[in-house]
C-alpha cells in the first residue's frame, strides 16, 4: 500500500484545470522531488495533498484512508506541510515559532524542551533562539520554519513531509544540511515530497522526480531518466547538454 496515493486529482480555477488528472503514489522511504516551470501547478498540488483545500475532483488517500475521513488532529500528526511562503507578522521569538511544531502532538514539558533545543541546533538557529522572528534574514526565517516543521515530523505518528521550495533561500551549507535532514527523515520510515528548482540537485539527490508542466504530470521516474536534455528542452524551453552527470546551459 502506498503511503500517499492520488487518483485523477484535479484542481480547477475559472473553468481551467491548473492541476490536471494527477495519479501519484509515494512510498515509505522515498525522497521525491517535484519540479516544473513557474506556474506549472506545483504549489497548488502540494497544498491539496496537504489538505489545505479539497481538490475539485479526484481522490487523495494517506495510509489508505481518504482525506475526508481523517480527524484534524490525526491528520496534523501524520503529515507536516511547509508552504512556499510562511510570512510571520507576530512578535514571536524563534524558539516560540519552532515550538509551534509540537502543537499537534502531546509532549511532556521535559521532552518538549529537549526537542525544541534539538531542532534549534540541527537547523543552526540556536544562537537566534530569543530573537524576534521578524528580524531574521530570509534564509534564517526559512531555517526557523524548517525547524518548526521538522519538529512536527519527529513524533512517531508522523509519516509524510511536504515542503514547497525548502531550499530556495538557503546558502550552500544550509542546503546541504537541509538535504541531510530530509534524507534522514525518509530513511526513518517516512517519506518526503518537496518542490525543487535546481535540476542538477534533483538529479543527484532525489530517489524519484515528478515533472509537472501546465498542471499535468508529464514524467515520473528515476531522476536521470526524467531529467534528460530532451525533456528539459520540451518542458522548460531551455537547451542543455550533459557534461558527465551535469546538465549545463
Ligand atoms: P507553481 O508553484 O508551479 O509555480 P502554482 O501552483 O502556484 O504554480 O500556480 C499554478 C497556476 O495557477 C498559476 O498560473 C497561478 O497563477 C494559478 N493560480 C494559483 N492559485 C490561483 C488562484 N487562487 N486563483 C487563480 N489562479 C491561481
Ligand atoms: Mg510554487
Domain that holds residue 205: 1-70+198-249
Tell me if 49 is assigned to some domain: yes
Ligand nearest to the CA of 40: 1
Tell me, yes or no, whether 150 lies in a domain.
Answer: no
Mean pLDDT, to the nearest integer, of 178-183? 98
Pocket-testing residue among 44, 49, 211, 213, ligand 1, by greatest number of atoms within 8 A of Cβ: 44
* Number of structural domains the chain divides into: 1
Query: Is residue 26 domain-resident?
Result: yes
Residue nearest to atom 22 of ligand 1 (CA): 13
Task: Say if 238 falls within a structural domain.
Answer: yes
Ligand 1 pocket, Cβ-based, cut-off 6 angstroms: 13, 18, 36, 38-44
Question: Residue 95 — very low, low, confident or very high, per pLDDT cuts 50/70/90?
Answer: very high
- Confidence band, pLDDT 50/70/90 cuts, at residue 107: confident
Residue by residue, DSSP assigns the chain as --SEEEEEEEEEETTEEEEEEEEEEE-TT-EEEEE--TTSSHHHHHHHHTTSS--SEEEEEETTEEGGGS-HHHHHHHEEEE-S-----S--BHHHHHHGGGTTS---HHHHHHHHHHHHHHTT-GGGTTSBGGGS-HHHHHHHHHHHHHHHTTSTT--EEEESSTTTT--HHHHHHHHHHHHHHHHTT-EEEEE---HHHHHHH-SEEEEEETTEEEEEE-HHHHS-HHHHHHHH----EEETTEEE-
Residue 77 domain-assigned? no
**Within a domain: residue 173?**
no
Task: For residue 50, tell me if it sits in a domain.
Answer: yes
Average pLDDT across the chain, whole number: 95
Task: With respect to residue 109, please indicate whether it lies within any of the assigned structural domains.
Answer: no
Indicate which CATH number applies to the domain containing 32.
3.40.50.300
Kindly report, residue by residue over 58-84, the tens digit of the pLDDT.
999 999 999 989 999 899 999 999 998
Using CA atoms, how far apart are residues 37 and 41, in angstroms rounded to an integer? 9
Model confidence, pTM: 0.96
Instruction: Report pLDDT digits (tens) over 136-164.
Output: 999 999 999 999 999 999 988 899 999 99
Asked if the model's pLDDT at residue 111 lies above 90, the reply is no
| Residue 239, pLDDT above cutoff 90 | yes
Amino acid at each position: 500500500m502506498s503511503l500517499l496515493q492520488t487518483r485523477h486529482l484535479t484542481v480547477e480555477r475559472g473553468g481551467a484545470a491548473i492541476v490536471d488528472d494527477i495519479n501519484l503514489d509515494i512510498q515509505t522511504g522515498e525522497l521525491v522531488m517535484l519540479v516544473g516551470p513557474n506556474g506549472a501547478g506545483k504549489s497548488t498540488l502540494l497544498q491539496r495533498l496537504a489538505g489545505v483545500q479539497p481538490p475539485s475532483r479526484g481522490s487523495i488517500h494517506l495510509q489508505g484512508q481518504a482525506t475526508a475521513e481523517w480527524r484534524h488532529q490525526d491528520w496534523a500528526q501524520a503529515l507536516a506541510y511547509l508552504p512556499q511562503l510562511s510570512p510571520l507578522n507576530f512578535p514571536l521569538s524563534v524558539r516560540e515559532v519552532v515550538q509551534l511544531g509540537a502543537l499537534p502532538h502531546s509532549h511532556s514539558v521535559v521532552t518538549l524542551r529537549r526537542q525544541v533545543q534539538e531542532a534549534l541546533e540541527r537547523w543552526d538557529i540556536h544562537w537566534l533562539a530569543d530573537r524576534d522572528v521578524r528580524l531574521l534574514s530570509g534564509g534564517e526565517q526559512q531555517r526557523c520554519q524548517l525547524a518548526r516543521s521538522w519538529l512536527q515530523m519527529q513524533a512517531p505518528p508522523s509519516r509524510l513531509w511536504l515542503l514547497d521550495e525548502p531550499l530556495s533561500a538557503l546558502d550552500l551549507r544550509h542546503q546541504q544540511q537541509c538535504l541531510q535532514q530530509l534524507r534522514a527523515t525518509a530513511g526513518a520510515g517516512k517519506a518526503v515530497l518537496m518542490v525543487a528548482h535546481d535540476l542538477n540537485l534533483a538529479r543527484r539527490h532525489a530517489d524519484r522526480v515528478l515533472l509537472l508542466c501546465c498542471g499535468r504530470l508529464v514524467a515520473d521516474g528515476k531522476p536521470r531518466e526524467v531529467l534528460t536534455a530532451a525533456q528539459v528542452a520540451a518542458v522548460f524551453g531551455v537547451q542543455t547538454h550533459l557534461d558527465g552527470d551535469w546538465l549545463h546551459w
